[in-house]
């Protein structure tokens, strides 16, 4: 085993551009990490939020391809879809991401796979949206609680 330092995911909310960036290192070469992003049989094993079943409608991860999937839990279904704009193994995936419930909203996602040598990879995943409001709502919502609950909690605090 190679030494593992600073393994936890790091987050950046850019103050000048409405983007969120997550950086994480993996004990696997870029080819493997890339395959886990492009192979539908592997994607379903990790991409969905905890407690949700991930159901693929289709997942064609190549340049010009598209995807649609559902996160399902306790009768609730959340659908997401998008297009793959650039898939260049094992370096970069550029894709769009849209929540079915907000079809005009879109996030432009770029995932860069950096070869760190010694069989390690740094993944830099950036999501860019069109306003700070969207970015912040995106970060504050998550899947389990939802934006309304977050707002209510803030309203209570601000009122108190």
Partner 1 sequence: MAADPLSRVFSALADPTRRDMVARLAVDDATLTELAEPYDVTVQAVSKHLRVLEDAGLVSRRRDAQRRPVHLEAEVFDLMTKWIERYRRQAEQRYRRLDDVLQSMPDDVAAVPPATPPQPGATP
User: What single-letter DSSP state applies at residue 18?
Assistant: S
Interaction between residue 38 and partner 1 (CB under 8 A) = yes
Interaction between residue 129 and partner 1 (CB under 8 A) = no
Closest CA to 95 of 131, 53, 63: 63
- Cβ closest to partner 1, residue 15 vs residue 75: 15
Interaction between residue 59 and partner 1 (CB under 8 A) = yes
Interaction between residue 150 and partner 1 (CB under 8 A) = yes
Q: Least distance from C-beta 34 to partner 1, angstroms?
A: 4
Interaction between residue 45 and partner 1 (CB under 8 A) = yes
Closest CA to 93 of 43, 18, 137: 43
Residue 26 in contact with residue 118, Cβ under 8 Å?
A: no
Size, binding site for partner 1 by CB under 8 A: 55
Q: Which stretch binds partner 1 (CB under 8 A): 75-83, 87-95, 96-104?
A: 87-95
Interaction between residue 79 and partner 1 (CB under 8 A) = no
Using CB under 8 A as the binding rule, the residues of this chain from 93 to 122 that contact partner 1 are: none
Interaction between residue 34 and partner 1 (CB under 8 A) = yes
- Burial code (b: 16+ CB inside 10 Å, e: under 16) for 19-58 equals bbeebbbbbebbeebbebbbeeeebeeebbeeebebeeee
């Amino acid at each position: 085993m190679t030494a593992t330092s600073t393994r936890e995911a790091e987050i950046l909310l850019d103050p000048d551009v409405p983007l969120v960036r997550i950086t994480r290192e993996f004990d696997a070469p870029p080819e493997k990490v890339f395959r886990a992003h492009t192979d539908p049989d592997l994607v379903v094993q990790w991409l969905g939020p905890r407690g949700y079943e991930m159901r693929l409608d289709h997942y064609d991860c190549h340049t010009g391809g598209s995807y649609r999937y559902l996160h399902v839990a306790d009768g609730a279904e959340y659908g997401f879809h998008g297009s793959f704009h650039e898939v260049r193994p094992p370096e970069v995936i550029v894709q769009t991401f849209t929540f079915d419930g907000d079809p005009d909203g879109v996030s432009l996602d770029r995932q860069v796979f950096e070869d760190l040598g010694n069989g390690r990879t740094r993944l830099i995943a950036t999501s860019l949206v069109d306003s700070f409001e969207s970015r912040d709502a995106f970060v504050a919502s998550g899947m389990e609680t939802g934006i309304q609950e977050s707002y209510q909690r803030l309203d209570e605090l601000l009122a108190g």
